Structure 1
Amino acid sequence: MPNAWDAGSAVLLAAAGFSAIATTSAGIAFSLAKGDHTLPDGAPGVSREDMFERIQQIAGAVDVPVSGDLEDGYGAAPERVAETITLAREAGLAGGNIEDYDGHELYDVELAVDRIVAAREAAGADFVLTARTDGQLLRTPTSLAESIERANRFRAAGADCLYVPGVNDLDTIRTIVREVDSPVNVVIGLGSSTLTVPDLLDAGVKRISLGGSIARAALGFIRRSAEELATHGTITFAKDQIPQSELNELFARSAGR
């Protein structure tokens, strides 16, 4: 389930044959020259309004189901989370994830559970609700056992899928799959992870996402291209571009689907 950051990237990913795609809050933020997740003090983030404007464009560009990266629900209160899930349904999303991290620290577990209860009530039966716990990603004192306990409490609160980002070794992933009473999502492409899709499927993972990996790789290509042009005056990077006629045809088919 690769992650798109605009309508064009969504169409390209859907055209590759994936049965579902997701949005990436990081990719969307970067495309707006803003940061995501652990922001430096005072750095601007993306508002819920701006994020949903892009999410709606992504969901409207493809026929495959789209799951939204809904961050922490854009507010601590369970009512705010429920409101965000309602907006997600109205935007055409088939599912979405809610984090238990407020940008500074993990939410108290009781509040975090209440937030998933509220999300489930707003989601209805046909919306795939993913609950994400960020203790392993943040490298906080939270132990793996505590992250697994949170995940199972979120499952009991109504989450369909559980997500423990920040784990990159197969033995630990197998432990999570075994001890979490729910389908598990794993993100690949963070840092220097060498995880592969076959490895994860063999470990029992039910869903695989990429977060902002493709978006960051695209920005890396832009930077390398700019450095080549500025330093050497050459454009060898142009050999990797998709021909305009091919893109025109692809986007025309998407618009007329």
Structure 2
Amino acid sequence: MREVRLMQVSLIIAVSMVVAGSEIIDFSESDANEENEFESEALTFAEADEAGQEEAVGRDNTGGDDGGRINFGLFTGGTAMLLSIFMGSVVLEVMKVALLGAIVTPFLSTMISVRDDLLTRGRILGYLEGNAGIHFSALRDALGLANGVTAYHLQILESKGEVLSWRNGKLRRYAVSGLSSEEIARIRNPVSGTRLAILQVLSESGLVGATGKNIQIKLKISRQLLSHHMRELRINDLIEPAEEKKRPRWRISSKGIAALANSLEFSQSQ
């Protein structure tokens, strides 16, 4: 992915700045030590003029300060860049996926066996076929995989053309590559597949609404998958809480009713 390559370049630049700054410190200290030794040796042969000594000390201090400033700028700039990358990966899933792909993937590629690779990728492909458009974190949690392992296999599958991905706000979503443009358009539409079924359940529940547990039982889906689809429906204002509670009952909104009607008409015309 382009984001992974960009992340790798950014990390190389940041680390190089930190290393370069550290090396300048070493050279500055080394030069200062050599100069001090030279001055000590010279003083054993002749007594230096007091004014000359003060001028030399002034020059030494100035040179040391310049070296310190050069080092401070490089070291601080590189450190700030690294901190920005890591903090951004905490907030944005897109940056997290890119960072994992840039750092973890090269190491995992030499550690994971071919058999384990095939099994894990088969699980990912099978899950994506049934849940196209799912985002990185939901896929990771549903399959019980670690961040690095998930990013590694998704990157390999995408490089082979078996999986496609796209950015959706702060998230990165995935689907199998065999989908048509019409199917991809429907996936990006919040009312399709499981989400359409959720709206139908809530429509039947009326104003009273239904709890997440009730929806999960009726549709026979996992809690993680239900949470993923409910969040998307909530973001698009297609559902709303029916009561003011920490875990409220949910009901379909007026916008959701219109979207449900349009989706049912579309499916009947196919």
Query: What is the TM-score normalised by the length of structure 2?
Result: 0.21
CA radius of gyration, larger in: 2
Query: What is the TM-score normalised by the length of structure 1?
Result: 0.22
